[in-house]
Each structure stands twice: as structure tokens, then as C-alpha cells.
Amino acid sequence: MTRILAMGDIMGKAGRLCLDAMLPRLRLEHAPDIVLVNGENAAGGFGLTEKVYKGFIEGNGIDAVTMGNHWHDKREIYDYFPRADRLVLPANMGNVEREDMGLKIITAKSGVRFAVMNVIGRAFMVEGNRDIFKALDKMIQQIPSAVRLRIVDIHAEATSEKQCLAWYLCGKVSLVYGTHSHVPTADERILDGKTGFVTDLGMTGAYDSVIGIRKEAAMLRMMTGEKKKFEPATGDPWLCGLVADIDEATGHCTAVKRLRLEMDRANA
């Protein structure tokens, strides 16, 4: 049995501090073999830098970082991506050149070999994202059959789109989870006894906010249209994610457990 711990969009400094504070005890409690984060908001709320990526990999011992629509917000990531061997981009996003940029076969620090994929939705997302099903088919074809542990991060807004894709992937991969909404959903389950799934992992970051952004600026923009700079919030940090057990012989998921841990309460 292989245990996966995956955490949703790490939002800005509050999200990173929450991860730093909570991950050691999660490792003790759950003893995961593979640990994943979504890093699209990790640097100042928008995008990812080499420094923050290295903090995840070397500091937190993360095995792979998936991304989303904000992947390119920090321009340095374009140059750094070819050297970031544990970073995957949304394969079908309009500004991601090739589908194989959304797939990595990785040996985890525990020695377990796994495939991780990242795709982006099309409903209520930026224009120009390519066919998701075709991107997934292409990537799955490239995975050696011996690699049974297969994980997909579907970065999308619409819950229906994430569920359609999860059913499409049922039996083809071990675990599918959604990211991007920054709100955890309570529907974790195993599809058809094969593929673990949750519609959205939820954000790891400050929940005294509007999806991780300081609520005053978000409310002002919605109420008046005035565009005050969006900055990541800091209050009430939660870590949100999922623990999933996979049978490495079949690649099937045998257990899923949702995590929603409030840092201030845990440390009180």
C-alpha cells in the first residue's frame, strides 16, 4: 500500500507558513509515501518562483508540485521550468507548449515511482485552453505500464467539469483531485472501487479572506468595481488536502480521507 498526501493551492506566505507548521505532524500521523502540493499561488498569491519551489522540494520534502492558471504569473518560471524536475504545468493550457509538460514520472523521496499529471478546465476559465480529454489520453499513453500509481490534478472552476473528467479517468488512474476553487468540497470517495476522487482539495492559506485574498479589496471590487491591489490575506490559516491509500499492484485506491486543519486551533 502506498499512501499519498495532497494539499490544495498553497496561497502566499500564509499558506507556506501553514504548510511549514502542519506538515511535520501530518507526516508523523499519516506516514505518507508521496506528498504533493498545488503551487500556482505560492509566491505572493500569484505564480511560483524558483526559491519558493525549492522551499517546497528541499525544505518541505514535497515530491511534486502541480500548477494552474496562475503558473506563469512570475515570469522567471518560464526559464526555470526545464530544470524543475518535480514541477508539472497544466498540460492543455493555451500558453503551455506541449502536453508532456503536464506529466512527470517521479521517484518519490520514499523510493516509490509515480506519475503525476496536471490539466486545466475550460468552463469559466481563461480562453484558449485545449481539449482536456485529448491531453489526458496523450499523457496516459506515455506512462509506462509498470507505473501503476497515477495522480491527476484537475485545475478547474466548474464542479461538473471536474466530476466529468474524474469519471473519464475512473480505472485509468489511482487518484483524481480538483484544485483552483480554493474551497474544499466534502465529496471524497472512491469511484467504482478504483479511483479516489474529491472535487476540490481546498486552499491551504488564510480563510479570513475571499478565496485567500484580503476580503476588503475583494469586496470593494465586487461592490464598486474599484480595483485596489489584490494581496494575500493572513488571518485564520487552514491546511486543506486529502490522504489516499493506493494498492500498488492494481493502482486502485482503497481509502480516502479529507483533511481540513485549522492552524491556530491546532497550535492553541
Catalytic residues: 70
CB neighbours of residue 50 within 10 Å = 16
Q: Which phi and psi angles does 101 have, rounded to 5°?
A: -75, -10
Minimum gap (Å) between residue 104 Cβ and Fe ion: 19
Q: Which phi and psi angles does 80 have, rounded to 5°?
A: -80, -30
Question: Interhelix angle for 132-142 vs 159-169, to 10°?
Answer: 30
Minimum gap (Å) between residue 75 Cβ and Fe ion: 18
Q: Which phi and psi angles does 32 have, rounded to 5°?
A: -70, 145
Minimum gap (Å) between residue 29 Cβ and Fe ion: 26
Can you read off the three cell numbers belonging to residue 112? 516509490
CA distances from 26 to 21, 23, 29 (A): 10, 5, 5
Strand runs labelled E in 124-215: 150-155, 175-179, 189-191, 195-198, 205-206
Q: How far does CA 77 lie from the centroid of its chain?
A: 17
Minimum gap (Å) between residue 111 Cβ and Fe ion: 30
8-26: string of b/e by CB count within 10 Å (b at 16+)?
bbbbbbbbbbbbebbbeeb
The residue among 180 and 252 lying less far from Fe ion, judged by its C-beta, is 180
The residue among 90 and 251 lying less far from Fe ion, judged by its C-beta, is 90
Minimum gap (Å) between residue 155 Cβ and Fe ion: 6
The residue among 200 and 245 lying less far from Fe ion, judged by its C-beta, is 200
The residues that touch Fe ion, with contacts defined as CB under 5 A, are 9, 40-41, 68-69, 180
The residue among 46 and 80 lying less far from Fe ion, judged by its C-beta, is 46
Distance in angstroms (rounded) separating the CA atoms of residues 176 and 117: 9
The residue among 182 and 252 lying less far from Fe ion, judged by its C-beta, is 182
